[in-house]
Amino acid sequence: MYPKISTNLIEENYESAKEIYGSYGIDTEGVLEKMKLIPISVHCWQGDDVTGFEPGKESLSGGGILATGNFPGKARNADELRMDLEKVFSLVPGKHRLNLHAIYAETGGKQVDRDELQPEHFSGWIKWAKKNKIGLDFNPTVFSHPLADSGFTLSSKDSKVRNFWIRHVRASRKIAMEMGKQLKSPCINNLWIPDGSKDLPADRMTPRKILKESLDTIYEEKLDPNYILDSVESKLFGIGSEAFVVGSHEFYMGYAVENKLMLCLDSGHFHPTEDISDKISSVLNFTDRLLLHLSRGVRWDSDHVVTMNDQILSIALEVKRSKVLDRVHFALDFFDASINRIIAWIIGIRAALKSILRAILEPTEILIEVENEGKYGERLALMEEFKSLPFGAVWDMYCLQNNVPAGSAWLDDVEEYSKNIILVRK
Ligand code: RNT
Ligand code: ZN
C-alpha cells in the first residue's frame, strides 16, 4: 500500500498554495480551468514496444530505433492494448488523445500491405475513441518492413521502393482524415522516416532532392485542416544512420515553412546538449503550429520515459512564456520495455502534465517586468525562488478534481491490474 493523501489535506494545502500564488498575481483556479484544455497525445507504442499487429511480426525492426528490455506482459492485440490504455487514462488527470501508428491496423489476421491500408482497418480504434470521447492522432509507419531494409525509403533511388512508401504515406493521410472527420477533432498525421547512412555519404544532395520530390507528391493533395494537420519530424542521427540523416532539422524546417506544414521537434533528436525549448519561439515565427515529441534521451536518442527534468520543464516554460499554448501540440514518444509498461506510460503522462502545470503557474509577468527594467539580478533571483513555489499542492488538487489518485497511490491500482491482467499474459 502506497500512502494516500486525504481529501482534507489536499484541500488545506491547496488553499495555502492558492494564497501564495495569489500574492504573485497568479489565479490558481484559472490555471486549473486552463489545464482542462490541454491534451497530451499519448503514444500507443509504449504498450507493445513498437511491435504493432501485422501478422507474423513479433518485434520492432530497423529504422534506427530500439526498444530494449523484456518486462513480461506486453499487449498482443488491439483489445489488450485498448484495455491497457483505458487503465492508463483512468490514472492521469485530464482528457487526452491517442497517437496511433499504421502498424496498429486491425486487418482480421489478413496480410494487408502498408500501401493498401484503408480507414476501415482502423474502425475499431475510431469506435473506441468515440466511446471514450478522445481524439486520435496518426503516423505512417516507414520502418519495420522489408522495403525499408536498405536504409532508404522516400529518398530511395529505387523507384519501386520510393513509390511504395509514397503510396503508404498517402494512404495514411486518408486514414488520418477519416479519424479527424469522425471524431470531430483534427488528427495530426506525423511523418518520420529513418533514411540515412552509417558512414559518410559521397552525395548528400541527391537523396535530399529525391525526398523533397516524394514529399511534394505526398502533400500535393490539399486536405481539410479541420480534419487533418500534417507534420514532419526531423532527426540528427539514428542507429545505423550516424553519419547522415536525409530528413535533418534544416531540411524539414525549410520544407515545413515553404509548404505550410507543421514541424515536429522531438526532444531526443538533436545533439545531446541541444535543447529544443529554445527553438519554439524561433519556429513559431514561421509556422502556425508546432508538434512536440517529448522524450528523454540518455546519452543518445534512447527514448527513455519522460520525467519532470530540466529539459521538459524548460520546454513547458517556453510554451507558456511565449504565449503559444494554443499553437503547440504536446505528444509523447518513448518506449521502455524494461519496466512495467503501464507504469512507464503513467510516469510520462503525469510528468508532462506536471511540467505544464508548473509552467502555467509561473508568475511570468513579474519576470518580464524586472527584465524590462534591466534588473537581471532580480530576474535570476525570482526564477530561483519560483522553483520552490508550492505547485505540488495545485497538482494534487488537479488530480482530486479529476477523480484520479494524487501522490503515489496510483501504483496500488497498477499493481492490482498487473497481477490480474498483465502478468498472466503469456
Ligand atoms: C524516431 C521518431 C519517431 C518514432 C515513432 C515511433 O526516432 O522519434 O517519432 O519514435 O514514430
Ligand atoms: Zn519522435
Mutate to test the pocket of ligand 1, among 139, 190, 293, 296 (most ligand atoms within 8 A of CB): 293
Residue nearest to atom 3 of ligand 1 (CA): 192
- Report the pocket of ligand 1 as residue ranges, CB < 6 Å: 45, 50, 65, 139, 192, 233, 235, 266, 293, 301, 333
Q: Is 283 helix (H, G, I), strand (E, B) or coil?
A: helix
Q: Are 315 and 290 in contact (CB under 8 A)?
A: no
pLDDT band at 218 (very low <50, low <70, confident <90, very high): very high
Residue from 269, 304, 320, 354 carrying the catalytic annotation: 269
For the chain, the domains span 38-362
pLDDT at 277: 98
Nearest-angstrom CA–CA distance, 403 and 93: 7
* Average pLDDT score over residue span 210-222: 98
pLDDT at 426: 78
Q: Is residue 65 over pLDDT 90?
A: yes
Q: What are 291-327's pLDDT values in tens digits?
A: 999 999 999 999 999 999 999 999 999 999 999 999 9
Q: What are 5-30's pLDDT values in tens digits?
A: 999 999 999 999 999 999 999 999 99
Q: 233 CA distance to ligand 2 centroid (A)?
A: 7
Q: Which atom of ligand 1 is nearest to the CA of 139?
A: 11
Residue nearest to atom 11 of ligand 1 (CA): 192
**414-422: long-range contacts at Cβ-Cβ below 8 A with a sequence spacing of 24 or more?**
414/87, 414/91, 414/340, 414/342, 414/343, 414/346, 417/87, 417/342, 418/73, 418/340, 418/342, 421/73, 421/83, 421/84, 422/72, 422/73, 422/84, 422/340, 422/341, 422/342
Whether 198 is catalytic? no
- Is the CA virtual torsion 203, 207, 210, 215 positive or negative? negative
Superfamily name with CATH number, domain 38-362:
Divalent-metal-dependent TIM barrel enzymes (3.20.20.150)
| Residue tagged 479541420 (cell numbers) | 226
Q: 378 CA distance to ligand 2 centroid (A)?
A: 37
* Average pLDDT score over residue span 267-285: 97
Q: Is residue 217 over pLDDT 90?
A: yes
Average pLDDT of the chain is 98
Whether 137 is catalytic? no
Residue from 84, 137, 230, 303 carrying the catalytic annotation: 303
**Cβ burial 360-375 (10 Å sphere, 16+ → b, else e):** bbbbbebbeebeeeee
Whether 396 is catalytic? no
DSSP state of 212: H
Q: What are 121-170's pLDDT values in tens digits?
A: 999 999 999 999 999 999 999 999 999 999 999 999 999 999 999 999 99
DSSP state of 187: E
In 66-222, which ranges are E strands? 97-101, 135-139, 187-191, 196-197
